[in-house]
Amino acid sequence: MNNAVPNRTAPRPARLGTVRTVVYTNPRSLLTPASGFIKAYKFSLNPYGGCGFGCEYCYARFFAPTPEASDSWGEWVRVKENAAALVVEATREPSERLRLCPGDPVYMSSVTDPYQPIESRLGLTRGILEALIPVQPRLVIQTRSPVATRDIDLFQQFDRIRVNLSVPTDSEAVRLRYEPHAPSIRARLKAAETLTRAGVPVGISISPMLGMDDASAFGRRIAGLDAAEYVVTGFHRPGPRFAAGTPVSALEKARADGWNRARYDEAVALIQEALGTHPLLKGNEGYAPPK
């Protein structure tokens, strides 16, 4: 997450999910050399800091710039308003390690959602896509939001792209317990359908998998989407103090719901059975850049 000093703040516009404070920044760089579960990428690209979906299980809060910002995850968003210009600058970067070149794998986004509520107003992610088209990186977009379908006309101009929709459960009741401000499961699946019909490769990320009502039926539903990729992950177990992991509150909620390893494994097996010959990728193997 970028630590640039905010240069102005704005009152909270309506309909920003959980966000109370919007801060506009002009950071010096946008693309971060990738590591960890996305180490197969050259860069991660986060148009925003913070996220107005405010999911309870979000590990990204551990990358917030201060402990206070981590504690108030979901209540603030930093808008990197010069993001599109920074993409162009990155193509001229003298250092090869930092230069954005055609074919470079880029992951958008690792610690925010590029289509979180404020994106509908600002079009910041859309501007970044416009700047990326002449470069033609191998792009993966990770989102929970059907707002991504707004940019189908731009996705279609990339030779190698995948839009990953995060769909962690089949149950609206479960979703409302863990991510009440994110779009409905139905809307996400419909967005996946719209994207595939438009010829945009889609990934279905069951991540992190939450309690399921009917894993077999869910598996059949997503099999019908004919996605380019299916991936499942569990919670990130908490590491040492301050290390990124699933917040304790989410783990406790899952425990109270009886969502445990045995039920997770059973759901994975049922979904794989429903997917037939489509592999249900596990963890990192599901986040490879498009070839």
Contacts with ligand SF4 by CB under 6 A lie at 51, 53-55, 58, 60, 112-113, 144
- Dihedrals phi, psi of 178, to nearest 5 degrees: -110, -25
Q: Which is nearer to ligand SF4, 46 or 270 (CB)?
A: 46
Q: How far is the C-alpha of 32 from the C-alpha of 51, rounded, in Å?
A: 18
Cα 15 vs. chain centroid, distance in angstroms? 20
CB-neighbour burial class of residue 221 (10 A; exposed 0-12, middle 13-18, buried 19+): middle
Parallel, antiparallel, or unpaired for β 202-206 and 161-166?
parallel
> 104 or 113: whose CB is closer to ligand SF4?
113
Which CB sits closer to ligand SF4, 113 or 151?
113
29 neighbors 82 (Cβ within 8 angstroms): no
**What gap in Å lies between CA 134 and CA 157, rounded to an integer?**
9
Shortest Cβ distance from residue 19 to ligand SF4 (Å)? 11
Q: Taking the complex as a whole, how short is the minimal distance between the CB of residue 75 and ligand SF4, in angstroms?
A: 11
- Minimum distance between the CB of residue 146 and ligand SF4, rounded to whole angstroms? 13
What DSSP element (H or E) covers 255?
Answer: helix 248-256
**Is 107:38 a contact under the CB 8 Å cutoff?**
yes
Q: Which is nearer to ligand SF4, 161 or 210 (CB)?
A: 210
Q: Taking the complex as a whole, how short is the minimal distance between the CB of residue 54 and ligand SF4, in angstroms?
A: 5
37 or 272: whose CB is closer to ligand SF4? 37
Shortest separation between residue 124's beta carbon and ligand SF4, angstroms = 15
| Nearer to ligand SF4 among residue 58 and residue 210 (C-beta) | 58
* Residue 250 Cβ vs ligand SF4, minimum distance, rounded to whole Å: 10
Residue 164: CA count within 13 A, CB half-sphere:
24
